Structure 1
Protein backbone atom coordinates (compact mmCIF):
# COMPACT_ATOMS: atom_id res chain seq x y z
CA UNK A 1 0.00 0.00 0.00
CA UNK A 2 2.92 2.26 -0.59
CA UNK A 3 4.20 1.97 2.96
CA UNK A 4 7.77 2.56 3.97
CA UNK A 5 9.66 0.92 6.76
CA UNK A 6 8.35 -2.21 8.43
CA UNK A 7 4.83 -2.87 7.20
CA UNK A 8 4.32 -6.16 9.00
CA UNK A 9 1.89 -6.63 11.86
CA UNK A 10 -0.82 -4.10 12.69
CA UNK A 11 0.26 -0.89 10.99
CA UNK A 12 -2.77 1.40 11.29
CA UNK A 13 -5.87 1.67 13.44
CA UNK A 14 -8.73 4.07 14.04
CA UNK A 15 -11.94 4.64 15.97
CA UNK A 16 -14.82 6.28 14.10
CA UNK A 17 -18.42 7.31 14.59
CA UNK A 18 -20.00 6.68 11.24
CA UNK A 19 -17.68 8.23 8.64
CA UNK A 20 -16.15 10.60 11.24
CA UNK A 21 -12.71 9.46 12.41
CA UNK A 22 -12.40 10.31 16.10
CA UNK A 23 -8.80 9.19 16.49
CA UNK A 24 -6.25 7.16 14.57
CA UNK A 25 -2.67 5.97 14.73
CA UNK A 26 -0.24 4.86 12.03
CA UNK A 27 3.07 3.09 12.62
CA UNK A 28 4.20 3.42 8.99
CA UNK A 29 3.92 5.88 6.15
CA UNK A 30 1.44 5.04 3.43
CA UNK A 31 -2.11 5.47 2.22
CA UNK A 32 -3.82 3.32 4.85
CA UNK A 33 -5.69 6.30 6.28
CA UNK A 34 -7.05 7.35 2.87
CA UNK A 35 -8.20 3.83 2.00
CA UNK A 36 -9.74 3.49 5.47
CA UNK A 37 -11.71 6.71 5.00
CA UNK A 38 -13.08 5.47 1.69
CA UNK A 39 -13.98 2.15 3.28
CA UNK A 40 -15.77 3.88 6.17
CA UNK A 41 -17.99 5.79 3.75
CA UNK A 42 -19.01 2.59 1.97
CA UNK A 43 -19.28 0.70 5.26
CA UNK A 44 -22.11 2.90 6.54
CA UNK A 45 -24.47 1.71 3.80
CA UNK A 46 -24.61 -1.87 5.05
CA UNK A 47 -22.44 -2.40 8.13
CA UNK A 48 -21.60 -5.77 9.62
CA UNK A 49 -20.39 -6.40 13.15
CA UNK A 50 -17.20 -8.04 11.91
CA UNK A 51 -15.64 -8.04 8.45
CA UNK A 52 -12.28 -8.28 6.69
CA UNK A 53 -11.19 -6.83 3.35
CA UNK A 54 -8.03 -7.53 1.38
CA UNK A 55 -6.10 -4.65 -0.18
CA UNK A 56 -2.76 -5.39 -1.80
CA UNK A 57 -0.64 -7.12 0.88
CA UNK A 58 -2.75 -5.92 3.78
CA UNK A 59 -6.12 -6.75 5.30
CA UNK A 60 -8.60 -4.23 6.70
CA UNK A 61 -10.38 -5.67 9.74
CA UNK A 62 -13.51 -3.89 11.00
CA UNK A 63 -15.53 -4.25 14.20
CA UNK A 64 -18.70 -2.23 14.86
CA UNK A 65 -20.52 -1.92 18.17
CA UNK A 66 -22.78 0.67 19.82
CA UNK A 67 -22.53 3.06 16.88
CA UNK A 68 -18.73 3.10 16.83
CA UNK A 69 -16.42 1.49 14.28
CA UNK A 70 -13.02 0.09 15.19
CA UNK A 71 -10.72 -0.58 12.23
CA UNK A 72 -7.19 -1.83 11.87
CA UNK A 73 -4.91 -2.52 8.92
CA UNK A 74 -2.62 -5.53 9.27
CA UNK A 75 -0.26 -7.51 7.08
CA UNK A 76 -1.57 -10.79 5.72
CA UNK A 77 0.46 -12.84 8.19
CA UNK A 78 -1.57 -11.46 11.12
CA UNK A 79 -4.34 -13.95 11.92
CA UNK A 80 -7.94 -12.81 12.14
CA UNK A 81 -8.04 -13.90 15.78
CA UNK A 82 -5.18 -11.55 16.63
CA UNK A 83 -6.61 -8.69 14.55
CA UNK A 84 -10.06 -8.93 16.11
CA UNK A 85 -8.58 -9.46 19.57
CA UNK A 86 -6.75 -6.17 19.04
CA UNK A 87 -9.96 -4.44 17.96
CA UNK A 88 -11.82 -5.87 20.97
CA UNK A 89 -9.04 -4.58 23.23
CA UNK A 90 -9.25 -1.12 21.64
CA UNK A 91 -13.05 -1.17 21.97
CA UNK A 92 -12.87 -2.02 25.67
CA UNK A 93 -10.36 0.73 26.40
CA UNK A 94 -12.06 3.37 24.31
CA UNK A 95 -15.61 2.67 25.45
CA UNK A 96 -14.62 2.80 29.12
CA UNK A 97 -12.91 6.17 28.87
CA UNK A 98 -14.39 8.04 25.92
CA UNK A 99 -17.83 6.66 25.03
CA UNK A 100 -19.74 9.77 26.25
CA UNK A 101 -17.39 12.19 24.47
CA UNK A 102 -17.48 10.12 21.29
CA UNK A 103 -21.18 10.82 20.76
CA UNK A 104 -20.59 14.47 19.83
CA UNK A 105 -16.85 14.72 19.12
CA UNK A 106 -15.73 16.20 15.81
CA UNK A 107 -13.17 14.60 13.52
CA UNK A 108 -9.90 13.69 15.27
CA UNK A 109 -10.98 15.47 18.45
CA UNK A 110 -9.99 12.48 20.59
CA UNK A 111 -6.60 11.97 18.94
CA UNK A 112 -4.70 13.65 21.76
CA UNK A 113 -6.48 11.61 24.41
CA UNK A 114 -6.47 8.17 22.78
CA UNK A 115 -3.77 8.06 20.09
CA UNK A 116 -1.04 7.13 22.62
CA UNK A 117 -3.19 4.22 23.81
CA UNK A 118 -3.77 3.08 20.23
CA UNK A 119 -0.02 3.15 19.62
CA UNK A 120 0.69 1.25 22.85
CA UNK A 121 -1.86 -1.43 22.00
CA UNK A 122 -0.57 -1.81 18.44
CA UNK A 123 2.99 -2.16 19.70
CA UNK A 124 1.94 -4.71 22.32
CA UNK A 125 0.02 -6.89 19.89
CA UNK A 126 2.80 -6.67 17.30
CA UNK A 127 5.53 -7.58 19.77
CA UNK A 128 3.75 -10.64 21.18
CA UNK A 129 1.03 -11.86 18.78
CA UNK A 130 1.17 -15.40 20.16
CA UNK A 131 0.12 -14.23 23.61
CA UNK A 132 -2.57 -12.07 22.06
CA UNK A 133 -3.88 -15.09 20.16
CA UNK A 134 -3.99 -17.16 23.35
CA UNK A 135 -5.65 -14.28 25.21
CA UNK A 136 -8.49 -14.02 22.72
CA UNK A 137 -8.99 -17.80 22.72
CA UNK A 138 -9.43 -17.66 26.50
CA UNK A 139 -11.56 -14.53 26.41
CA UNK A 140 -13.78 -16.08 23.78
CA UNK A 141 -14.63 -12.87 21.91
CA UNK A 142 -13.76 -14.22 18.48
CA UNK A 143 -13.07 -17.89 19.12
CA UNK A 144 -15.17 -19.11 16.20
CA UNK A 145 -13.91 -16.80 13.42
CA UNK A 146 -14.02 -18.58 10.09
CA UNK A 147 -10.96 -18.89 7.84
CA UNK A 148 -12.78 -17.71 4.72
CA UNK A 149 -10.73 -15.19 2.76
CA UNK A 150 -12.38 -12.15 1.19
CA UNK A 151 -11.83 -10.54 -2.19
CA UNK A 152 -10.13 -7.28 -3.03
CA UNK A 153 -11.25 -4.11 -1.31
CA UNK A 154 -10.79 -2.31 -4.64
CA UNK A 155 -13.97 -3.90 -6.00
CA UNK A 156 -15.98 -2.38 -3.18
CA UNK A 157 -14.39 1.05 -3.40
CA UNK A 158 -14.42 1.21 -7.22
CA UNK A 159 -17.99 0.03 -7.71
CA UNK A 160 -19.32 2.03 -4.79
CA UNK A 161 -21.34 -0.92 -3.55
CA UNK A 162 -21.11 -3.65 -0.96
CA UNK A 163 -20.96 -7.21 -2.28
CA UNK A 164 -22.18 -9.84 0.14
CA UNK A 165 -19.86 -12.47 -1.32
CA UNK A 166 -16.90 -10.35 -0.26
CA UNK A 167 -18.06 -9.97 3.32
CA UNK A 168 -16.95 -12.40 5.96
CA UNK A 169 -20.24 -12.90 7.74
CA UNK A 170 -18.86 -13.78 11.14
CA UNK A 171 -20.69 -11.03 13.02
CA UNK A 172 -23.34 -13.17 14.61
CA UNK A 173 -22.25 -16.73 13.95
CA UNK A 174 -19.77 -17.16 16.78
CA UNK A 175 -21.74 -15.30 19.43
CA UNK A 176 -25.04 -16.90 18.41
CA UNK A 177 -23.56 -20.39 18.39
CA UNK A 178 -21.97 -19.84 21.80
CA UNK A 179 -25.16 -18.34 23.23
CA UNK A 180 -27.24 -21.20 21.83
CA UNK A 181 -24.94 -23.82 23.33
CA UNK A 182 -24.89 -22.02 26.67
CA UNK A 183 -28.67 -21.66 26.73
CA UNK A 184 -29.09 -25.29 25.69
CA UNK A 185 -26.83 -26.44 28.52
CA UNK A 186 -28.69 -24.21 30.98
CA UNK A 187 -32.06 -25.46 29.79
CA UNK A 188 -30.87 -29.06 29.97
CA UNK A 189 -29.72 -28.61 33.56
CA UNK A 190 -32.97 -26.84 34.46
CA UNK A 191 -35.13 -29.59 32.99
CA UNK A 192 -32.95 -32.29 34.55
CA UNK A 193 -33.29 -30.91 38.07
CA UNK A 194 -36.98 -30.17 37.54
CA UNK A 195 -37.43 -33.81 36.55
CA UNK A 196 -35.49 -34.96 39.61
CA UNK A 197 -37.61 -32.78 41.90
CA UNK A 198 -40.78 -34.06 40.25
CA UNK A 199 -39.72 -37.68 40.76
CA UNK A 200 -38.85 -37.02 44.40
CA UNK A 201 -42.18 -35.26 44.93
CA UNK A 202 -44.11 -38.14 43.33
CA UNK A 203 -42.19 -40.69 45.43
CA UNK A 204 -42.91 -38.77 48.64
CA UNK A 205 -46.56 -38.37 47.67
CA UNK A 206 -46.85 -42.11 46.99
CA UNK A 207 -45.24 -42.99 50.31
CA UNK A 208 -47.47 -40.51 52.12
CA UNK A 209 -50.55 -41.88 50.39
CA UNK A 210 -49.54 -45.42 51.26
CA UNK A 211 -49.01 -44.40 54.89
CA UNK A 212 -52.45 -42.75 55.06
CA UNK A 213 -54.08 -45.80 53.49
CA UNK A 214 -52.42 -48.18 55.95
CA UNK A 215 -53.25 -45.83 58.85
CA UNK A 216 -56.91 -45.87 57.86
CA UNK A 217 -57.00 -49.67 57.66
CA UNK A 218 -54.93 -50.25 60.76
CA UNK A 219 -53.79 -47.57 63.17
CA UNK A 220 -51.11 -44.91 62.92
CA UNK A 221 -48.82 -47.36 64.75
CA UNK A 222 -49.65 -50.12 62.24
CA UNK A 223 -51.44 -52.35 64.76
CA UNK A 224 -54.19 -53.79 62.58
CA UNK A 225 -57.35 -55.12 64.23
Structure 2
Protein backbone atom coordinates (compact mmCIF):
# COMPACT_ATOMS: atom_id res chain seq x y z
CA UNK A 1 0.00 0.00 0.00
CA UNK A 2 2.05 2.89 -1.24
CA UNK A 3 5.19 1.51 0.45
CA UNK A 4 3.51 1.13 3.83
CA UNK A 5 3.36 -2.22 5.63
CA UNK A 6 1.48 -3.45 8.67
CA UNK A 7 -2.21 -3.63 9.44
CA UNK A 8 -5.10 -2.37 11.53
CA UNK A 9 -5.27 -4.50 14.68
CA UNK A 10 -8.09 -3.03 16.75
CA UNK A 11 -10.98 -0.58 16.45
CA UNK A 12 -13.89 0.68 18.51
CA UNK A 13 -16.72 3.19 18.50
CA UNK A 14 -17.72 4.86 21.75
CA UNK A 15 -19.75 7.70 23.21
CA UNK A 16 -17.26 9.15 25.63
CA UNK A 17 -16.13 6.22 27.78
CA UNK A 18 -19.20 4.12 26.81
CA UNK A 19 -18.03 1.57 24.24
CA UNK A 20 -20.77 0.91 21.67
CA UNK A 21 -18.91 -1.59 19.46
CA UNK A 22 -15.39 -2.94 19.13
CA UNK A 23 -13.38 -5.44 17.15
CA UNK A 24 -9.91 -6.73 17.92
CA UNK A 25 -7.24 -9.15 16.88
CA UNK A 26 -5.33 -11.81 18.79
CA UNK A 27 -2.31 -11.60 16.49
CA UNK A 28 0.10 -10.03 18.98
CA UNK A 29 0.39 -9.17 22.64
CA UNK A 30 -0.04 -5.49 21.77
CA UNK A 31 -3.25 -6.30 19.87
CA UNK A 32 -4.57 -8.26 22.84
CA UNK A 33 -3.79 -5.34 25.15
CA UNK A 34 -5.38 -2.78 22.80
CA UNK A 35 -8.91 -2.87 24.33
CA UNK A 36 -7.53 -2.06 27.79
CA UNK A 37 -5.29 0.74 26.49
CA UNK A 38 -8.10 2.14 24.32
CA UNK A 39 -10.44 2.37 27.32
CA UNK A 40 -7.83 4.29 29.27
CA UNK A 41 -7.52 6.72 26.36
CA UNK A 42 -11.24 7.36 25.85
CA UNK A 43 -11.75 7.88 29.58
CA UNK A 44 -9.45 10.90 29.37
CA UNK A 45 -10.32 12.10 25.88
CA UNK A 46 -12.45 15.13 25.11
CA UNK A 47 -15.32 14.43 22.69
CA UNK A 48 -14.88 17.77 20.94
CA UNK A 49 -14.57 17.40 17.18
CA UNK A 50 -10.93 16.59 16.45
CA UNK A 51 -8.47 13.96 15.29
CA UNK A 52 -5.31 12.86 17.08
CA UNK A 53 -2.74 10.08 17.14
CA UNK A 54 -0.98 8.59 20.17
CA UNK A 55 2.02 6.31 20.05
CA UNK A 56 2.84 3.28 22.16
CA UNK A 57 6.01 1.39 21.32
CA UNK A 58 5.68 0.34 17.66
CA UNK A 59 1.92 0.98 17.44
CA UNK A 60 -0.23 4.06 16.90
CA UNK A 61 -3.71 4.77 18.28
CA UNK A 62 -5.60 6.97 15.82
CA UNK A 63 -8.71 8.78 17.03
CA UNK A 64 -11.45 10.70 15.23
CA UNK A 65 -14.14 12.48 17.30
CA UNK A 66 -17.29 13.92 15.81
CA UNK A 67 -20.66 14.87 17.32
CA UNK A 68 -19.76 13.29 20.66
CA UNK A 69 -18.82 9.92 19.14
CA UNK A 70 -15.24 8.60 19.30
CA UNK A 71 -13.87 6.40 16.51
CA UNK A 72 -10.58 4.75 17.49
CA UNK A 73 -8.23 2.34 15.79
CA UNK A 74 -4.85 0.83 16.64
CA UNK A 75 -2.40 -0.07 13.88
CA UNK A 76 1.25 -0.85 13.34
CA UNK A 77 3.37 2.30 13.31
CA UNK A 78 4.78 1.23 9.94
CA UNK A 79 1.25 1.39 8.50
CA UNK A 80 1.39 5.18 8.56
CA UNK A 81 -1.53 7.48 9.34
CA UNK A 82 -3.30 8.17 6.05
CA UNK A 83 -4.99 4.78 5.72
CA UNK A 84 -6.01 4.43 9.40
CA UNK A 85 -7.68 7.85 9.30
CA UNK A 86 -9.41 6.98 6.03
CA UNK A 87 -10.62 3.79 7.76
CA UNK A 88 -11.99 5.92 10.61
CA UNK A 89 -13.75 8.26 8.17
CA UNK A 90 -15.32 5.22 6.51
CA UNK A 91 -16.41 3.78 9.87
CA UNK A 92 -17.79 7.15 10.97
CA UNK A 93 -19.86 7.41 7.79
CA UNK A 94 -21.23 3.86 8.13
CA UNK A 95 -21.95 4.19 11.85
CA UNK A 96 -23.66 7.59 11.67
CA UNK A 97 -25.83 6.59 8.70
CA UNK A 98 -26.81 3.30 10.37
CA UNK A 99 -27.50 4.52 13.92
CA UNK A 100 -27.75 8.32 13.75
CA UNK A 101 -29.08 10.07 16.83
CA UNK A 102 -29.86 6.81 18.66
CA UNK A 103 -26.14 6.53 19.50
CA UNK A 104 -26.48 9.46 21.93
CA UNK A 105 -28.53 7.32 24.34
CA UNK A 106 -27.45 3.77 23.49
CA UNK A 107 -26.22 1.46 26.25
CA UNK A 108 -22.72 0.01 26.34
CA UNK A 109 -22.11 -2.54 23.54
CA UNK A 110 -25.62 -1.92 22.17
CA UNK A 111 -24.35 -2.21 18.60
CA UNK A 112 -21.54 -4.70 19.14
CA UNK A 113 -23.31 -7.72 17.62
CA UNK A 114 -24.06 -5.91 14.36
CA UNK A 115 -21.33 -3.35 14.01
CA UNK A 116 -18.34 -5.43 15.15
CA UNK A 117 -18.79 -7.36 11.90
CA UNK A 118 -18.57 -4.11 9.95
CA UNK A 119 -15.43 -3.18 11.89
CA UNK A 120 -13.84 -6.55 11.17
CA UNK A 121 -14.71 -6.41 7.48
CA UNK A 122 -13.35 -2.88 7.01
CA UNK A 123 -10.24 -3.60 9.10
CA UNK A 124 -9.42 -6.49 6.77
CA UNK A 125 -10.17 -4.42 3.68
CA UNK A 126 -8.01 -1.44 4.67
CA UNK A 127 -5.22 -3.74 5.88
CA UNK A 128 -4.94 -5.93 2.80
CA UNK A 129 -6.69 -4.46 -0.24
CA UNK A 130 -4.42 -2.31 -2.47
CA UNK A 131 -7.49 -0.47 -3.75
CA UNK A 132 -8.03 1.00 -0.29
CA UNK A 133 -4.90 3.11 -0.63
CA UNK A 134 -5.75 4.16 -4.18
CA UNK A 135 -9.20 5.33 -3.12
CA UNK A 136 -7.80 7.15 -0.12
CA UNK A 137 -5.25 9.04 -2.17
CA UNK A 138 -8.18 10.55 -4.06
CA UNK A 139 -9.62 11.51 -0.66
CA UNK A 140 -6.30 12.86 0.62
CA UNK A 141 -7.88 15.99 2.06
CA UNK A 142 -10.18 13.91 4.21
CA UNK A 143 -7.30 11.76 5.40
CA UNK A 144 -4.86 14.67 5.87
CA UNK A 145 -3.16 14.29 9.22
CA UNK A 146 -0.19 16.63 9.04
CA UNK A 147 -1.67 18.66 11.93
CA UNK A 148 -2.20 15.60 14.11
CA UNK A 149 -0.03 15.62 17.18
CA UNK A 150 1.63 12.33 18.03
CA UNK A 151 2.26 11.89 21.74
CA UNK A 152 3.72 9.08 23.73
CA UNK A 153 0.76 7.34 25.29
CA UNK A 154 2.53 6.48 28.56
CA UNK A 155 3.30 10.16 29.04
CA UNK A 156 -0.38 11.04 28.84
CA UNK A 157 -1.75 8.12 30.85
CA UNK A 158 0.88 8.05 33.62
CA UNK A 159 0.60 11.76 34.38
CA UNK A 160 -3.18 11.62 34.21
CA UNK A 161 -3.15 15.00 32.54
CA UNK A 162 -5.96 16.27 30.40
CA UNK A 163 -5.32 15.49 26.74
CA UNK A 164 -4.67 18.70 24.86
CA UNK A 165 -4.72 18.56 21.10
CA UNK A 166 -2.64 20.61 18.72
CA UNK A 167 -5.61 20.80 16.40
CA UNK A 168 -7.76 22.23 19.23
CA UNK A 169 -5.18 24.95 19.80
CA UNK A 170 -4.99 25.69 16.09
CA UNK A 171 -8.77 25.87 15.82
CA UNK A 172 -8.95 28.19 18.83
CA UNK A 173 -6.28 30.49 17.36
CA UNK A 174 -8.05 30.51 14.01
CA UNK A 175 -11.35 31.24 15.74
CA UNK A 176 -9.84 34.08 17.75
CA UNK A 177 -8.20 35.52 14.62
CA UNK A 178 -11.52 35.32 12.78
CA UNK A 179 -13.34 37.04 15.66
CA UNK A 180 -10.64 39.72 15.79
CA UNK A 181 -10.99 40.37 12.05
CA UNK A 182 -14.76 40.57 12.43
CA UNK A 183 -14.49 43.00 15.33
CA UNK A 184 -11.95 45.09 13.39
CA UNK A 185 -14.30 45.27 10.39
CA UNK A 186 -17.20 46.19 12.66
CA UNK A 187 -15.16 48.91 14.37
CA UNK A 188 -13.97 50.25 11.00
CA UNK A 189 -17.56 50.43 9.72
CA UNK A 190 -18.72 52.06 12.93
CA UNK A 191 -15.96 54.69 12.71
CA UNK A 192 -16.88 55.36 9.06
CA UNK A 193 -20.54 55.89 9.89
CA UNK A 194 -19.61 58.12 12.82
CA UNK A 195 -17.49 60.21 10.45
CA UNK A 196 -20.38 60.47 7.96
CA UNK A 197 -22.82 61.45 10.73
CA UNK A 198 -20.43 64.10 12.04
CA UNK A 199 -19.97 65.55 8.55
CA UNK A 200 -23.75 65.64 8.01
CA UNK A 201 -24.26 67.26 11.40
CA UNK A 202 -21.58 69.86 10.63
CA UNK A 203 -23.16 70.58 7.24
CA UNK A 204 -26.57 71.00 8.92
CA UNK A 205 -25.14 73.39 11.50
CA UNK A 206 -23.43 75.47 8.78
CA UNK A 207 -26.68 75.54 6.80
CA UNK A 208 -28.68 76.67 9.85
CA UNK A 209 -26.12 79.37 10.72
CA UNK A 210 -26.25 80.74 7.16
CA UNK A 211 -30.06 80.54 7.21
CA UNK A 212 -30.35 82.45 10.48
CA UNK A 213 -27.94 85.14 9.26
CA UNK A 214 -29.95 85.56 6.06
CA UNK A 215 -33.24 85.41 7.99
CA UNK A 216 -32.12 88.23 10.25
CA UNK A 217 -31.15 90.30 7.25
CA UNK A 218 -33.96 89.44 4.84
CA UNK A 219 -36.75 87.95 6.91
CA UNK A 220 -37.85 84.33 7.41
CA UNK A 221 -38.72 83.95 3.71
CA UNK A 222 -35.33 85.33 2.69
CA UNK A 223 -36.88 88.08 0.49
CA UNK A 224 -34.11 90.61 0.46
CA UNK A 225 -34.51 93.88 -1.43
CA UNK A 226 -32.41 94.03 -4.55
Partner of 1:127: 128
1:204-225 per-position Cα deviation (integer Å, ceiling 9, x unaligned): xxxxxxxxxxxxxxxxxxxxxx
Give every structure 1 segment of 4 or more consecutive aligned residues whose post-TM-superposition deviation is greater than 6 Å.
170-173
Contact in 2 for aligned 1:52/1:59 (Cα 8 Å) = yes
Cα deviation, residue 30, structure 1: 1.3
| 1:162 is the counterpart of 2:181 | no
- Figure out how many residues of one structure are paired with residues of the other and give that number: 164
TM-score, with length taken from structure 2: 0.65
Quick one: structure 1 residues 170 and 161, their matched pair in 2 at CA, closer, same or farther if it must change by over 3 Å?
closer
Cα deviation, residue 150, structure 1: 2.0
Contact in 2 for aligned 1:51/1:171 (Cα 8 Å) = no
Quick one: structure 1 residues 107 and 157, their matched pair in 2 at CA, closer, same or farther if it must change by over 3 Å?
same
Contact in 1 for aligned 2:53/2:148 (Cα 8 Å) = no
TM alignment of 1:1-225, pairs within 5 A: 8-28=6-26, 30-44=32-46, 47=48, 49-128=50-129, 130-146=130-146, 150-162=150-162, 164=164, 167=165, 169=167
Cα deviation, residue 172, structure 1: 7.2
Contact in 2 for aligned 1:50/1:169 (Cα 8 Å) = yes
Whose helix fraction is larger, Structure 1's or Structure 2's? Answer: 2
Secondary structure of the residue aligned to 1:32 is helix
Quick one: structure 1 residues 32 and 65, their matched pair in 2 at CA, closer, same or farther if it must change by over 3 Å?
same
Distance 2:141 2:59 in 1: 23
Cα deviation, residue 17, structure 1: 0.6
Quick one: structure 1 residues 141 and 66, their matched pair in 2 at CA, closer, same or farther if it must change by over 3 Å?
farther
Cα deviation, residue 79, structure 1: 1.7
TM-score, with length taken from structure 1: 0.65
